[in-house]
Amino acid sequence: MIGVPARPPLDWESMKFAFLPKPWDQPVAELEAAGHTHVALEDNPDLLLFRGGPEHFPERLPESVKVVQVCYAGVEALVEAGTLAAHDVRWANAAGLYDDTVAESTLALLLAVLHRHKAVSREWNNLELFTSTRYLFDSTRLALIGAGGIGATLISYLAPFGVEVTAVNRSGRPVEGAARTLAMSDPEFPALWGEADVFVLLAPLTEETRHIVGADALAQMRSNAVVINVGRGPLVDTEALADALEEGRIAGAGLDVTEPEPLPADHRLWDLDTCVITPHTANIPRYMKARIGGLALENWELFAAGERMRTEVEVERGY
């Protein structure tokens, strides 16, 4: 694999770990119960759990550190800051660890947009709002841009609504439950912007996916189109989206992530009844604290066995 050197197994039944910038009690207790020792960074840990941004990452790591386990699925900020490339360690993220929480939050956001919850919560017996409410079973064509673990879980949640899903991923490898799967490089992909009723964005942020929903894509969308972004804020060109919503060229948007983030309090998207915004809450710390310890243990055991970690990051790709 790219960026994953082969290494012989390590004869370590226990290791030392640090947790920055501030440890969570639950995963620390899990690792300690498994026979590992929580230490400060200066005490030469073997593994570092990290839950901060680039500004929190140490400028230098002790040579003892072999693995950095990031508590988030996305490591784009660390990639852009050059943090991953600057340190000769193996990196793991939390990809797949929060599939269920994020998929359920995505479905909730989509339903809130279609049902016009933001608008109807302020007005009673408004006939115009009643007639503009839509149901998911009537929005039959859904394009899922970024069909990894979260996307696969979301497809299973969508099944009772009879939605026809076109999954779009990097490889074009078929996604279970999708009516069809396209690679982003597939010549059929651009036509999707004019075909689907709903677009759900769950892709990682790369140069290929940055502003994938921009002015050009929005101009091709149907007037009833809804855009849901629970992936990364920069997947959407914020100003182009705001223009399309203000001009009524698309029907609605739901955003759990934005560019910039947080979205400024005076941004025009906040005032649009057709745009529902949640403050990056598709997953919450309670589940991160409950799950990251087990993943760190699994990844360390795989590393120590000389194998690829389950959520190993390929530094060159950035995910």
Catalytic-residue membership of 222: no
Q: What is the pLDDT of residue 1?
A: 40
Give the pLDDT band (50/70/90) at residue 2. very low
Question: Domain with 310 in it: what CATH number?
Answer: 3.40.50.720
In order of 17, 35, 238, 255, the CA distances from 262 in angstroms are 32, 40, 12, 11
Q: What is the average per-residue pLDDT within 272-280? A: 96
Q: Which residue type, as a one-letter code, is found at position 248?
A: G
Give domain status of residue 210, yes or no: yes
Give domain status of residue 11, yes or no: no
Give residue 106's Cα distance to chain centre: 11
Region of 56 on the Ramachandran plot (φ > 0 left; ψ -120 to 50 alpha; else beta): alpha
Q: How far apart are CA 90 and CA 310, in angstroms?
A: 12
Between 210 and 319, residue with greater pLDDT? 210
Closest alpha carbon to 190 in 198, 180, 182: 182
Count of domains observed in the chain: 2
Give domain status of residue 206, yes or no: yes
**Angle ∠(95,167,69) on CA atoms, nearest 5:** 5
Closest alpha carbon to 256 in 272, 240, 236: 236
Q: What is the pLDDT of residue 141?
A: 96
Catalytic-residue membership of 246: no
Report whether 226 contacts 252 (CB < 8 A).
yes
Closest alpha carbon to 165 in 188, 153, 181: 181
pLDDT tens digits for range 147-173 = 989 999 999 999 999 999 999 999 999
Q: How far apart are CA 66 and CA 117, in angstroms?
A: 48
Q: What is the pLDDT of residue 138?
A: 83
Q: What is the pTM of this model?
A: 0.87
Does residue 168 share a domain with residue 21?
A: no
Give the pLDDT band (50/70/90) at residue 286. very high
Does residue 222 share a domain with residue 168?
A: yes
Contacts of 173 (CB under 8 A, 6+ apart): 181
pLDDT above 70 (res 9): no
Domain of 78 in residue numbering reads as 16-95+284-317
Does residue 110 share a domain with residue 230?
A: yes
pLDDT above 90 (res 317): no
Q: Catalytic one among 280, 298, 307, 310?
A: 280
Q: What is the average per-residue pLDDT within 68-96? A: 94
Q: How far apart are CA 61 and CA 55, in angstroms?
A: 14
Does residue 172 share a domain with residue 60?
A: no
Q: Catalytic one among 76, 164, 246, 261?
A: 261
Closest alpha carbon to 225 in 201, 194, 179, 184: 194
Q: Catalytic one among 116, 134, 232, 291?
A: 232
Does residue 268 share a domain with residue 177?
A: yes
pLDDT tens digits for range 105-124 = 999 999 999 999 988 877 77
Catalytic-residue membership of 261: yes
pLDDT above 80 (res 71): yes
